[in-house]
Chain A
Amino acid sequence: MMVEMRDLRKTFGAAAALDGLSLSVGKGEFLALLGPSGSGKTTLLRVLAGLEFVSSGSIAIGGRPIQDVPARERQIGLVFQHYALFRHMTVARNVAFGLEVRPKRNRPSAAAIRDRVAELLEMMEIGDLGGRYPDQISGGQRQRVALARALAVEPALLLLDEPFGALDAKVRRNLRVWLRALHDRMGLTSIFVTHDQAEALDMADRVAILRAGRIEQVDTPDAVSRHPANDFVREFMR
């Protein structure tokens, strides 16, 4: 198993955001976290990225426990819901950021960084946007920049928080297909959060349905829609 989450618990004040959640993700898998708002999807992603901390439970990535590893050393790529691009940097500088902040001894040369950035932008099909600023490109293009930026550091795990939430329907459909293809081509392990069940069924290898900080069911899209584990899942998948 690539990612092992065991009995994660976290509370915000009195409310439990994660309530004994356990989940495994295999290497190369594309897993969708599906659930209504407030079900703990985003919290789970932030916990995996190291931006939030659980009160109890354990997380291992590639067999290594990581709950005490600080976010900056986790090597996990996170694409934020609103992208969180650095607005005062060009697209190219955004993508280069993760490489440029590395300590000198394992930082690639300036030329190597430039090549890597060009390659990534090309792969994202935005090769000509390197010199633009985030406020000069469209929402779909920003999404690709955010993805390129996260992938630049070659993360072991890619997390996507509502990656298409801010885009209109047509752009969404195109990006879905493209993203899934990219995942397969690059051999990534990805977890993505959505509240749109069609999107989850369409893209994911497996779907995990969350309610109130717990997993209600994890299975293939086919199995989840044919054999919902309970009424909540049935209602939600409808």
Chain B
Amino acid sequence: MPRSHPPRHPDADAPIAGPARPAQRRWDLAALRRRLAIGLALSAMAILLVLPLVLIFTEALSKGLDIALEALAEPEAWSAIRLTLTVAAIAVPINAICGTAAAWCIGRFEFPGRALLTTLIDLPFSVSPVISGLVWVLLFGANGYFGAWLDRHDVRIVFALPGLVLATMFVTFPFVARSLISLMREQGAAEEEAALTLGANGWQIFVRVTLPNIFWAMLYGVLLCNARAMGEFGAVAVVSGHIRGQTLTMPLYVEALFNDYEWIGAFSVAALLSMLALVTLALRMLLEWRIERDRSAGV
């Protein structure tokens, strides 16, 4: 329902408003203001947020769909896609499981240091992506604290898959825990306590009572975690070493192509990543609607 500003009491401005039909004029003014605000907001969003997206697909397809698909079929492109999927397939489940464990102990128990622990879990969100990569180089890089030891034992972490996974885990660390903790605290422990008095053990309580109640929120966290894991650039850029065909994830491959003036290739891979973003946004809308239902007061 349109909510224009409330009409004023007629007496309030009767002495001021000279023209014949003041009420009519005020209404026009309100409608005008409304249109102006909507128009301004939408054009700003169109230029700032939509135009870049349009450009990506336009550029990718500027020489036709065949050329764009060809760029994606390159062996290096395939290797980037595979690597991105591998990194996400390791980092996301670990963060999801540990995030759920964190939500259980933070959302269901009172203990000293609980607030601190919550803050620590949120911490990666306020750290620059580059620093999120840097910390792993400081630990495991050639000059890092464990660099010499790793070198002697011929273990590669930085400039290899483990480094990419660790950096990705750091930046996607809070997603699942965060979306679950607030929900679990809101829902309260009554259903779990009821299950307990009925004789259920811990695992039964979790699987039969807790999990169905937090399922959609968990999926939501996993969705955002995955989108970030696949799209992360800064943190993995630092630990990747940029070895083509080996340690370039899709976003890093976009960078490499762009810097080599391989315009179509860069935008084709970018378009693929954009589609991931669009699908993520669409699913997110659906999930938010679902979670609202879970959030609405318990029975």
Contacts and interface: CB of A to CB of B under 8 A. Distances in A.
A and B touch in the complex (CB under 8 A): yes
A108 to B, nearest CB: 13
Interface string B173-212: 0000000000000000011011111111100100011001
A82 B197 contact: no
B190 A142 contact: no
Contacts of A44: none
Contacts of B193: 51, 71, 78, 80, 84
Given A82-B190, A85-B299, A73 B199 contact: yes
B299 A134 contact: yes
Given A97-B208, A101-B208, A134-B299, A86 B197 contact: no
A153 B198 CA distance: 7
Contacts of B274: none
Contact of B200 (A72, A76, A152): A72
Nearest to B193: A51
Contact of A87 (B195, B198, B204, B213): B213
Which of A76, A80, A142 has the most C-beta atoms of chain B within 10 angstroms of its own C-beta?
A80
Contact of B191 (A76, A78, A86, A135): A86
Interface residues of B, number: 18
Contacts, number: 76
B196 A86 contact: no
Interface residues of A, number: 31
Nearest to A78: B197
B197 A71 contact: yes
Mostly helix, strand, loop or mixed at chain A's interface? loop
B2 interface: no
Which 9 A-B pairs give the minimum distances between C-beta atoms? A98-B198, A84-B190, A134-B299, A101-B200, A88-B212, A84-B194, A78-B197, A87-B299, A101-B204
Given A51-B197, A73-B199, 15 more contacts: A51-B196, A72-B198, A76-B197, A82-B299, A83-B299, A84-B191, A84-B193, A85-B191, A85-B299, A87-B298, A97-B198, A101-B201, A101-B208, A152-B198, A153-B199
Interface of B: 190-191, 193-201, 204, 208-209, 212-213, 298-299
19 contacts: A50-B196, A71-B193, A71-B197, A72-B196, A76-B197, A83-B299, A84-B193, A85-B194, A85-B299, A86-B208, A86-B212, A87-B298, A88-B212, A97-B198, A98-B199, A98-B200, A101-B208, A149-B194, A153-B198
